[in-house]
Amino acid sequence: MLFAGLVVLAVAFLSYGRALSRRLGVLCVGLATFAAGYLLTGSLLAGLACASGWLLLPWLEILLRVRRLRLPLRRFLSQKAPPSRDSFPELGVLSDEIEAAGFEHVADLGWETDGYRQFLRLYASPERRAEAAIAHVEHDGLGFHFTRLTSRAASGEVYMTWNCPVSQSLKIPPGVRLHRASGQAFGSMVDEHAQFLGRSGCAVDGVLAVDPDNVRASVEGDMEAQMRHNLTEGVLEAADDSHGRYSWRGMLFLWVQALRDIFRAF
Strands 104-113 and 78-79: antiparallel
pLDDT attached to residue 175: 92
Domain ranges of the chain: 2-64, 72-247
How sure is the predictor about 34, in pLDDT bands with cuts at 50, 70 and 90? low
Position 14 pLDDT exceeds 50: no
Which one, of 70, 140, 63, 147, lies nearest residue 103 by Cα? 147
pLDDT attached to residue 10: 39
Answer whether 121's CB lies under 8 Å from 216's CB.
Answer: no
Dihedral of CA atoms 21, 27, 33, 34 in degrees, nearest 10, equals -150
pLDDT attached to residue 28: 52
Mean pLDDT over each residue of the chain, to the nearest integer: 82
Percent over 90 (pLDDT), the chain: 52
- Of the two residues 149 and 167, the one the predictor is more confident about is 149
Percent over 70 (pLDDT), the chain: 77
What is the average per-residue pLDDT within 30-57? 59
CA pseudo-torsion sign 79, 224, 139, 262:
negative
How sure is the predictor about 192, in pLDDT bands with cuts at 50, 70 and 90? very high
What's the pLDDT tens digit per position in 171-180?
999 999 999 9
Position 152 pLDDT exceeds 80: yes
How sure is the predictor about 7, in pLDDT bands with cuts at 50, 70 and 90? very low
3-class SS letters over 25-39: HHHHHHHHHHHHHHH
Answer whether 130's CB lies under 8 Å from 193's CB.
Answer: yes
For residues 233 and 215, give the distance between their C-alpha atoms in angstroms, rounded to a whole number.
27
Q: Which residues are paired to 149 by β-bridges?
A: 132, 161
Q: What is the CA radius of gyration of the chain?
A: 21
Answer whether 73's CB lies under 8 Å from 224's CB.
Answer: yes
pTM: 0.81
CA distance readout (Å), 135 to 39, 125, 144, 154 = 46, 18, 8, 26
Position 161 pLDDT exceeds 60: yes
How sure is the predictor about 266, in pLDDT bands with cuts at 50, 70 and 90? low
- Each as own residue / partner, the long-range contacts of residues 114-122 (CB below 8 Å, 24 or more positions apart, any chain) are 114/68, 114/69, 114/70, 115/139, 115/140, 116/69, 119/80, 119/82, 119/83, 119/88, 120/77, 120/80, 120/219, 121/82, 121/91, 121/95, 122/215, 122/216, 122/219
Answer whether 153's CB lies under 8 Å from 206's CB.
Answer: yes
pLDDT attached to residue 13: 38
Which one, of 140, 139, 148, 93, lies nearest residue 120 by Cα? 148
Position 184 pLDDT exceeds 90: no
How sure is the predictor about 249, in pLDDT bands with cuts at 50, 70 and 90? very high
What's the pLDDT tens digit per position in 103-126?
999 999 998 877 788 999 999 999
Query: What are φ and ψ of residue 151, in 5° steps?
Result: -125, 140
For residues 262 and 175, give the distance between their C-alpha atoms in angstroms, rounded to a whole number.
28
For residues 119 and 191, give the distance between their C-alpha atoms in angstroms, rounded to a whole number.
25
What's the pLDDT tens digit per position in 66-90?
888 888 888 889 999 999 888 899 9
